[in-house]
Amino acid sequence: MLKRTLIGLVRSHETTGEKARIPELKTRHYKIPKEQLWEEVQSVLKKLPGYKLLHAVENVGEIVAEKKTVTGRVQDITLTLFSLGPMRSAVDIYSASRGSLGDLGSNYRVILQIYNELDRRLAQHKITNN
């Protein structure tokens, strides 16, 4: 966590992906249809304190939200959902802070918070070995 904070002194964004070096930032896969994942992701974002859903385009699989930090900065969060088959879907997250200074690791923590909540709610559907 200290390393993420130090990196965050200069970096103001974080992203997930299939090839992420940090295991916590790897794409999440679930054994549910994309439509069900879509509903779950929106529900999670609406219930997490401080998050505001800005827009969602289901046919593209993109949900955009923002979160205000304690310091008053705004983080823009884009979640991209993919259908990998009739009963398999995935989600990636990109989070960036507005402004020129680093984020002190807050984008990393935002991604972990969203992924942890999704993993908790969809525990029985999570695919662990992608």
| Residue pLDDT, tens place only, 29-73 | 999 999 999 999 999 999 999 999 999 999 999 999 999 887 788
Cβ(95)–Cβ(65) under 8 Å?
no
* C-alpha to C-alpha distance for 39 and 29, rounded to whole angstroms: 15
Give the tens place of pLDDT for each residue, 105-121.
Answer: 889 999 999 999 999 99
| The pLDDT value given to residue 130 | 53
Ordered by where they begin, the domains of the chain are 2-127 (3.30.310.220)
Give the tens place of pLDDT for each residue, 70-87.
Answer: 778 899 999 999 999 999
Please report the DSSP string for 17-75 in residue order. BTT-SSGGGBPEEESS-HHHHHHHHHHHHHHSTTEEEEEEETTTTEEEEEEE-TTS-EE
